[in-house]
C-alpha cells in the first residue's frame, strides 16, 4: 500500500470473493450429501458440527479445533472412538479440500493478473501441485508462504505475487481452516457410517 500499489492490491478482491463463494458452495454441497448419507436432518448435523467450525474459523487454526473436533465426532455424531482417534489426526493434516480450491483459484487469478499464458496442461499442473502442496504443508505459521513460493516458481508466476498472496492469506485463512475442519467432520461421519462404526442413536439425539 505504501509503495503506491493500491490498484494491484484491489485486483485480488475478485479472486478473494470467488474463493469464499466456491468454498461456501463446496461446504453446503457436502453438508447436504452427508446429511442424506447419514439419514440425519441437515440442521441437526449442522448444529452438532458448528462448534468445531467456529473454533477453527475464529482462530484460523486446525490445532485449536482438534480436541473439540474429536469430541464432536465421538460424542455428538456417534463415531467409534478407535476410528476417530486414527482418522481425525491423519485427516487434519492431509484432508484439505477447501485449501485445494483456495490455492487453485488464487493461482489462476494471479496468472490473469500477471498475464501468464494458460493452457489445459498448465491448469492440470496447477490443480495437481495445489493438491500435493496442501498434503505436504506443515501445520505451522508461515507454511503458506513456502507453499506460495513452490507454486509460483513451478507455474511461472513472478515472485512479487507472494506479497499479495500473503495479504490474501491473512484474511482467507480463517474461512479456509473453518471449512476444512467442518468438511473433515462430515467425511469422518460418512466413513464411519459406511464401515458400520457409527452409533445412530447418538447421531440423531437432539
Structure confidence by residue, pLDDT tens digits, 57-74? 998 888 889 999 999 999
pLDDT at 127: 86
pLDDT tens-digit map of 146-164: 888 888 888 888 887 888 8
pLDDT at 56: 92
The rounded distance, in Å, linking the Cα atoms of 195 and 174 is 32
Determine the 3-state secondary structure of 155 from DSSP. helix
Within 13 A of 1's CA, how many CA atoms are on the CB side?
2
From 174, 186, 198, select the one nearest 28 (Cα to Cα): 186
Would the pLDDT of 4 be above 60?
no
The rounded distance, in Å, linking the Cα atoms of 160 and 94 is 28
Whole-model pTM: value is 0.87
Would the pLDDT of 121 be above 90?
no
What average pLDDT does this structure show over 116-121? 84
pLDDT band at 9 (very low <50, low <70, confident <90, very high): low
Q: What are phi and psi of 46, to 5 degrees?
A: -65, -45
What average pLDDT does this structure show over 12-30? 90
Determine the 3-state secondary structure of 148 from DSSP. helix
pLDDT tens-digit map of 25-55: 999 999 999 999 999 999 999 999 999 999 9
Amino acid at each position: 500500500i505504501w509503495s503506491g500499489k493500491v490498484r494491484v492490491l484491489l485486483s485480488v478482491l475478485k479472486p478473494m470473493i470467488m474463493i469464499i463463494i466456491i468454498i461456501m458452495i463446496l461446504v453446503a454441497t457436502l453438508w447436504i450429501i452427508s446429511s442424506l448419507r447419514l439419514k440425519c436432518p441437515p440442521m441437526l448435523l449442522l448444529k452438532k458440527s458448528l462448534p468445531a467450525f467456529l473454533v477453527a474459523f475464529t482462530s484460523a487454526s486446525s490445532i485449536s479445533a482438534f480436541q473439540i473436533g474429536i469430541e464432536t465426532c465421538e460424542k455428538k455424531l456417534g463415531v467409534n472412538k478407535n476410528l476417530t482417534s486414527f482418522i481425525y489426526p491423519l485427516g487434519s493434516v492431509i484432508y484439505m479440500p477447501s485449501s485445494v480450491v483456495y490455492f487453485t483459484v488464487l493461482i489462476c487469478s494471479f496468472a490473469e493478473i500477471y498475464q501468464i499464458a494458460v493452457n489445459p496442461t498448465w491448469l492440470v499442473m496447477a490443480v495437481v501441485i495445489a493438491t500435493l502442496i496442501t498434503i505436504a504443508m506443515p501445520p505451522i505459521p508461515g507454511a503458506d508462504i513456502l507453499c506460495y513460493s513452490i507454486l509460483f516458481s513451478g507455474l511461472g508466476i513472478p515472485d512479487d505475487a507472494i506479497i499479495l498472496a500473503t495479504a490474501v492469506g491473512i484474511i482467507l485463512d480463517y474461512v479456509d481452516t473453518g471449512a476444512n475442519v467442518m468438511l473433515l467432520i462430515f467425511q469422518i461421519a460418512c466413513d464411519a457410517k459406511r464401515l458400520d462404526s457409527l452409533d445412530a442413536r447418538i447421531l440423531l439425539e437432539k
